[in-house]
Structures are given as C-alpha cells and as structure tokens.
A and B are shown apart, each in its own frame.
Chain A
C-alpha cells in the first residue's frame, strides 16, 4: 500500500510534469565522444575496445573474479552453447576460447561458487573451483526443468538473492494473450490462462535438483517478458526490465501506427513477492504517464479500469526498444555518479514503423538508495554502425548482455556478429 501511494510522487519527481510530452524521456547525447576502434560513442573520459568479434549469438555474460568471461549463446557455435573467453596475456584481446554445454539459451550468472546457465526450458549449474573455473563442464546439475518454452519470449534470465533462491523469468508465449495471437482486432482471453505458468518471475531453490513448477513460487506476475533481471544487493530487492507490448495498432479504431510506435513503454520495476505488473490487461502509456487498459480487454487508449491496483514502473522508457539486460554498477572504476546506478542494454526496436527504429544502445539510470533519482541517459551508442535504423537487419551490432569485470570495467555483448565490448574509464 505504501508503495502504491509513493508511486505517483516518484513519477512526478523523475519526469516532472506528467502532462508534458515524452521528449524529456530522451536525453541528449551531445556529451558523447567517439571511441575509435570500437565504433561506440561514450561520455567523455570513457573508451571502448573490442575484445572478441565473432563469438556468435552472444547473449548474457558473466565474468569471474580473474576476468575470465562466460557467455551464453542463443545458437550453438561449433556445437557449444556456453563460451569461456580468456585474455591470457592481458593485451585486451581474447586469445583463448573454449566451449561447453550443448544447449542454446540466454541466461548465465555466477553466485556462491556456481555458474548458473539456462536453456529456454531448464536451468543448470556448474560447480566452480577456487579460481571460479568450471570443474566439470560436461556434468552440470539440472536444478529446474519443464518450464514453458513458447518460442516467443522463451529466454530464461536468471538472478539469485542472498537467501539461496534463484529467480527465473518465464515470458508470455504471446504478445497480449489474444484469442488469435497478433490478430487484427482479436480479443484477449479473459482471464489470460497462461499466467499460472508464464508471464512472470518464478522463484526456486538455487541448490535443489530437478525442480518443476510445483516446487517453485510465482514471485511476480503480469510481466510480459523480462530479460533484464537482477538482484539489487544494496536494497536486497529484485529489479526487472520488461519488454512491453507490441502492435497497439492491431486496433486501428483506437491507435495509428505512429501512436503504436511511441505509446507502450518499456518498464523497469522493483518487484516484491506477490506483485502484479499488469500484463496483459494493462500497459504503461508514456504520453499519459500511467497504466491504461489494453485494447484487447476493452481499452480505448484512455480507460484505466483494471489498472489501478497494478504495480507502477520506477522508470518508463520509450516504446519497443527491447531491454535485454540490466546491471547495477557496483565497481570503483567509473565516476561516483555511476555507483549503484543501473545500466540497461537495449537490443533495439522493430515495431516502430513508419518511424525510425529506436534503441540499439546502452543507457544509464542514476540511482540513490535503490531508487532512480535522475533522468536516464544514453551511455553507449553507435552499436548499429548506421546513423538511422529503419529496419533491424540494418544494425550491424545490437547490445544484448551486460557484465562488470573485477576491475570495474563494463562488458557488453553483441548478438549479431558476436562482439564483446569492454568499456573503461580513464578520466579526462
């Protein structure tokens, strides 16, 4: 209850007058400079290098305490789904690549002496030695199995808390739970039947084998598809970034393609056990700055019935940009402003035509005490390699995963060509 009352106040603080248009959500990039070699544009004092440039469909990434990189692939590379990358002579270039795991997927992380990795239906863990190296790459423990793999939104992002729990995103296998998925004018199933097994975050035990739905807890619901999923150590809460809904203009009586291009936000939430973030009944309208009833459920772009009680986002990003990862910066390399703030990797949009596509960059959201305290800004841009992306295939690189190295550098994966970028701060 306390959070619900606090929500609107937070919005006012972060976004100013909610009646103003959403231009304030975009911040300027004029302070950015080109980092030669990587092609990225970064704030002054930062630079980027490319550590590897063809490691396949590189999705989420995690780095051990010695700087060894583990990357999860969404397409097997030489039969392997996880890569171990090492820069053994410390020249900034990966010179040692090995692989293991014969399954594709996205999620990968390290916690308490284990490497955790997900396929699109299961979660595995690999015991690490004292150097945080995988001991038996071919003998993982299967800790979770049988999760819905509906193709759409089937990636299973992972996060762990400090109480022995693992959190898994189970995305909805549809856009908006319509009778005919993505069908023009098709009504939403009511109630949406998949919410008992998808469209939310599930909590399991991190150390118990072969868990299925009956062993897990639906920790939060009403989340269409979450790829950015992180446990925030500062406030001990789970934070998520959701891929918001597509195709509002399947209801042309209420929405033009231009409106669809800008209205339904990509939302960041702090979620607590039992939270309902609204999908598929509600979406967040960035122009009205509030949750609105979806047209599949009788909405007309204005009605807010069914949406009053749902959890409000702590940040609303522009529509369709596809937030693929979230990272809280806890390192010491970057300036103080970045400490405990959030980086979000936006894979880039496809559903904004006839407008140009948006995203294809990494943004930074300043945080204080576990809450955003200033407008977000573009941090690393230029991944696409072109000035304007009209169609996603034009993008030469797309940011997907984020990790922090032991030295505090920020690593970003690209799942088009398989680049691994390393972003460091040297000062001015």
Chain B
C-alpha cells in the first residue's frame, strides 16, 4: 500500500514530463535574450503586443499551432492583416532570416513556453528543415 502511494507522485511527474516536455532553462535563457533584442520592441516584454499595431503572442494559434508555419513567419515575416483573436494589426513584421537556426529554435521555444503559453519545443533540426524548403 505504502509503495503505491509512493508511486503515484513519481508516475505523475513522469507523465507530466512526457506530455509537456521539460524545457531546459538554458534554452529559455537563450530564447529570452533573442526575444528581448528582436521581438520585444514590437510584441512587448510581456508578449501582449500593441493593440491595433502588433499582435499578441499569448495563446494564439500562430504561436501554439503548426510549428512549420510559425518558423516560416520568422523566416519570411508576416503581412497578412488577418484577424488574431478578434483583432487586426496594422504593422508589418519584417523577415528575420538573419537569425541562426539555433536562435530561431531558442526564441520560438521561449515564446511557446512564456506569457502563459505551454507547448512543445522547436528543435534546430526543425528550423533547418523549414529553412531549406523556404526560399
């Protein structure tokens, strides 16, 4: 009986770890650095964006959804004026293809796990693969 009680928390930790992945603090720190330099001026330090101008990164489909599409936004920028959570945003995002695969992997992992977001990490290999297909 005692052993079962002991096992429940252990099993829970393993399960949580499997579903959300443990993001290495080093990756988050590197991602935050890239974010502060290239993203935060427009999307703001808290990821809430600027009403009417720059979209938020909190719980949006772009950020939490398809990884390839998200990587493509970094590489090619965004100028679609689409509605994001009921609002439109007027400013353009310039391509950020000058960032390295490592930087993109770090910053997207950071964004997907900050501002109340929780999503899987984005690997350097995934960025490399999308970059190869995006010309």
> What is A's interface to B at a CB cutoff of 8 Å?
74, 151-152, 154, 174, 180-184, 186, 247, 249, 257, 350-351, 353-354, 390-394, 416
Query: B91: which A residues are within 8 A, CB to CB?
Result: 152, 182
Of all chain A residues, the one with the shortest Cβ separation from B46 is: A391
CB distance from B94 to the nearest CB of A (A): 4
Q: List 18 A-B contacts (CB under 8 A).
A: A74-B52, A151-B90, A152-B91, A180-B77, A180-B94, A182-B94, A183-B94, A183-B95, A184-B98, A257-B41, A350-B50, A351-B42, A390-B44, A390-B45, A391-B46, A392-B50, A392-B51, A416-B51
Query: A350: which B residues are within 8 A, CB to CB?
Result: 42, 44, 50, 53-54
Interface centre among B42, B56, B81, B91 (most CB of A within 10 A): B91
A249 to B41, CA, bound (A): 10
B40 at the interface (CB under 8 A from A): yes
Query: B90: which A residues are within 8 A, CB to CB?
Result: 151-152, 154
A38 to B52, CA, bound (A): 25
Query: A391: which B residues are within 8 A, CB to CB?
Result: 44-46, 48, 50
Q: A249-B41, A353-B44, A392-B48 are in contact. List 9 more A-B contacts (CB 8 A).
A: A180-B94, A186-B94, A257-B41, A350-B53, A351-B42, A391-B46, A391-B48, A392-B50, A393-B48
Query: B49: which A residues are within 8 A, CB to CB?
Result: 393
B93 at the interface (CB under 8 A from A): yes
A74 to B38, CA, bound (A): 29
Partner of B50, one of A354, A390, A393, A416: A393
Query: A257: which B residues are within 8 A, CB to CB?
Result: 41
Interface SS of chain B: helix, strand, loop or mixed? loop
B124 at the interface (CB under 8 A from A): no
B14 at the interface (CB under 8 A from A): no
A394 to B49, CA, bound (A): 10
A166 to B56, CA, bound (A): 37
Of all chain B residues, the one with the shortest Cβ separation from A74 is: B52
CB distance from B100 to the nearest CB of A (A): 14
Partner of B93, one of A154, A182, A249, A353: A182
Query: A247: which B residues are within 8 A, CB to CB?
Result: 41
B92 at the interface (CB under 8 A from A): yes
Of all chain B residues, the one with the shortest Cβ separation from A257 is: B41
Q: Is the CB of A184 within 8 A of B44?
A: no
A342 to B114, CA, bound (A): 43
Query: B93: which A residues are within 8 A, CB to CB?
Result: 182
Partner of B51, one of A182, A184, A393: A393
CB distance from B74 to the nearest CB of A (A): 13
Of all chain A residues, the one with the shortest Cβ separation from B91 is: A152
Query: B95: which A residues are within 8 A, CB to CB?
Result: 180, 183
A391 to B56, CA, bound (A): 11
A183 to B52, CA, bound (A): 20
Contacts of B76-119 to chain A: CB distance below 8 A: 77, 81, 90-96, 98
Indicate with 1 or 0, residue by residue over B16-55, a CB within 8 angstroms of chain A CB atoms: 0000000000000000000010101110111011111110
Partner of A390, one of B46, B94, B96, B98: B46
CB distance from A417 to the nearest CB of B (A): 11
CB distance from B125 to the nearest CB of A (A): 25
A180 to B53, CA, bound (A): 17
Query: A152: which B residues are within 8 A, CB to CB?
Result: 90-92
Of all chain B residues, the one with the shortest Cβ separation from A395 is: B51
CB distance from B104 to the nearest CB of A (A): 14
Of all chain A residues, the one with the shortest Cβ separation from B99 is: A184
CB distance from A85 to the nearest CB of B (A): 23
Query: B50: which A residues are within 8 A, CB to CB?
Result: 350, 391-393
Query: B53: which A residues are within 8 A, CB to CB?
Result: 350
